[in-house]
Structure 1
Amino acid sequence: MSETDFLPTEERSLCDRFIREGHIIAPAENRAALDRIRSLIAEEASAWLGLLPPDDPDSFLNGIAERVPVEKLNAFRLHVIGTLNATSWLRSAYYAIARRTLETVVGNELCMQRRVNLSIQLPDDDSSLLPIHADVWSGDSPFEVVLWIPLVDCYRSKSMFLLPPAVTARLQQEMHRYADHGAEAMFSDFEADLAWMEVPYGSFLLFNQNLPHGNRVNREAQARWTMNCRFKGVFTPYADKKLGEFFEPITLRAASRIGLDYRYPEGFEE
């Protein structure tokens, strides 16, 4: 341990694990907040279908392919996500689901993406695929992390994959090989090394978006529903996604607020 590393042992261990493994899967730190979000989504989904709110949100969401055909999926998703992001308490509830882990891994002065994303992947549907990629390759800051939260149990092809840090280091040295071959060739070459995230409902996944990740066709019998949102330290460097446009501060401390508001006295001549 460095002589200037003052983190408590438990926090240092969590940070070391995030660096080593590239992700953390843990139970929701505020289960009531998660359940409230899922209930809202189930209610809005059923309203779009002209149905009463479901008594069993889990079965309703898992079986949504029986009610929504692929050709109507995007309109359905946009309705639900629009209502979701228009809800005043959504982002604070989302943050509460992993607040302590975010503070340990990222920092206690955070900014958060202004809109939470929602993904729905029906069984055997190839219209919602995310090829292997790392967000930092396309204009995201390397200081960002993604908080990925399932609304149903996610496993195998009903989940997402992540390339571990040690293997990513090897890929970085070989990236030039894929300039003319694309993401599918990269996936094929590294498929055996991919880690598929198993995240049951009631848990969250926090992952390093500098690592290659993505999804494939959902070959399971039920639909995948997941949310994702980015967080970073307010005072860490930005890339294409700017503060005030894409990100918004959510946990500024008193000294930072004072410093940002301070103006030197005027009227003196040099």
Structure 2
Amino acid sequence: MSNLPTFWRDDELGMAESFVREGYVIQPAESRGDLDRIRDLIADITASYLKLPPAEDKGAFLDRIHEKVDVQRLNDLRLAVIREMNEEPWTRLAYFNTARRALEVLVGNELAMQLRINLSIQLPNDDSSLLPVHADVWAGDSPYEVVLWVPYVNVFGTKTMYILPRDKDSEYQARMGELKLKSAEALYRTIEPDLTWLDIPYGNVLLFTQNVMHGNVVNREPETRWSSNCRFKSIFSPYHDKKLGEFFEPILVRPATRIGAGYRLPSVA
């Protein structure tokens, strides 16, 4: 046990250690008003697209949307909602505000944010919206990114996503060569006993490292899942295929950085 003082505050240290241990944290949205505003926007865009009157109960409307749209029209609806929600000038800031302090604790206080917020809609018994087991770093994402995953309805059972906690994930990834698995389905069956299925009531958000394996299965619950995801990283941490200015945009640059980046030593005659 080190006698050196820690620079972490007690409340920050608990969150940081949990994230390092598990690979994720679930917490109440830091701005419930911003979360509700985004959910209500999504519900209103959806109602307009389907030529329905605005719903009084936005959450119930989203939960039951499978009664209004079929799988054939689902992706067109999803793309329309993504386009319109990202056109609103306030949406990205509101999304960030749902977990601002947690992102600063887990990632840093000079941040880059993904340019567009993504949206997932998973109807009951729909196998067209599956995300097989994967880790995003396998496909070119930086290992320094954290995903802010926000559900707009209660998610549970097969209506949620699963994640492999970091300790187990490290074991499986270290053995990937010897396992010689031929498909994502074979990988899923291998890790299934150790997966954690995330129960997240509406009003809470999930932050996780995309270095660990995660995914979803067919939603067998009688309700539709709506969730968004958006990546954040420290501006100065290494990038991979998704670059600053192409995929990410700086959102918090501190004054010392702004001054330092613009400084040039005087020329010597």
Same fold by TM-score, threshold 0.5 exceeded? Answer: yes
Where 2:141 maps in the other structure, the secondary structure is coil
Unaligned runs of 5+ in 1: none
Where 2:191 maps in the other structure, the secondary structure is helix
> 2:85 & 2:261 partners in 1: Cα distance?
31
Is the 8 Å Cα contact of residues 178 and 185 (structure 1) preserved in structure 2? Answer: no
Change (3 A) 1:180 1:171: closer
Name the residue aligned to 1:33: 34
Where 1:250 maps in the other structure, the secondary structure is strand
Is the 8 Å Cα contact of residues 25 and 203 (structure 1) preserved in structure 2? Answer: yes
Provide Cα deviations, 1:175-202, integer angstroms capped at 9, x if missing partner. 1145551211010011011000111110
Where 1:185 maps in the other structure, the secondary structure is helix
Change (3 A) 1:81 1:142: same
Where 2:154 maps in the other structure, the secondary structure is coil
Is the 8 Å Cα contact of residues 181 and 187 (structure 2) preserved in structure 1? Answer: no
> 1:7 & 1:103 partners in 2: Cα distance?
12
Change (3 A) 1:262 1:179: farther
> 1:147 & 1:77 partners in 2: Cα distance?
19
Unaligned runs of 5+ in 2: none
Provide Cα deviations, 1:106-129, integer angstroms capped at 9, x if missing partner. 111111000000000000000010
Aligned pairs for 1:112-261 (under 5 A) are 112-177=113-178, 181-261=182-262
> 2:187 & 2:52 partners in 1: Cα distance?
44
Q: CA RMSD in A?
A: 1.3
> 2:180 & 2:112 partners in 1: Cα distance?
34
Aligned residues: 268
Following TM superposition, the consecutive aligned residue runs of length 4 or more in structure 1 with deviations greater than 3 angstroms are 177-180
Where 1:16 maps in the other structure, the secondary structure is helix
Change (3 A) 1:74 1:178: farther
Alignment TM-score, normalising by the size of structure 1: 0.96
1:262 aligns with 2:259: no
1:107 aligns with 2:108: yes
Percent identity over the alignment is 52
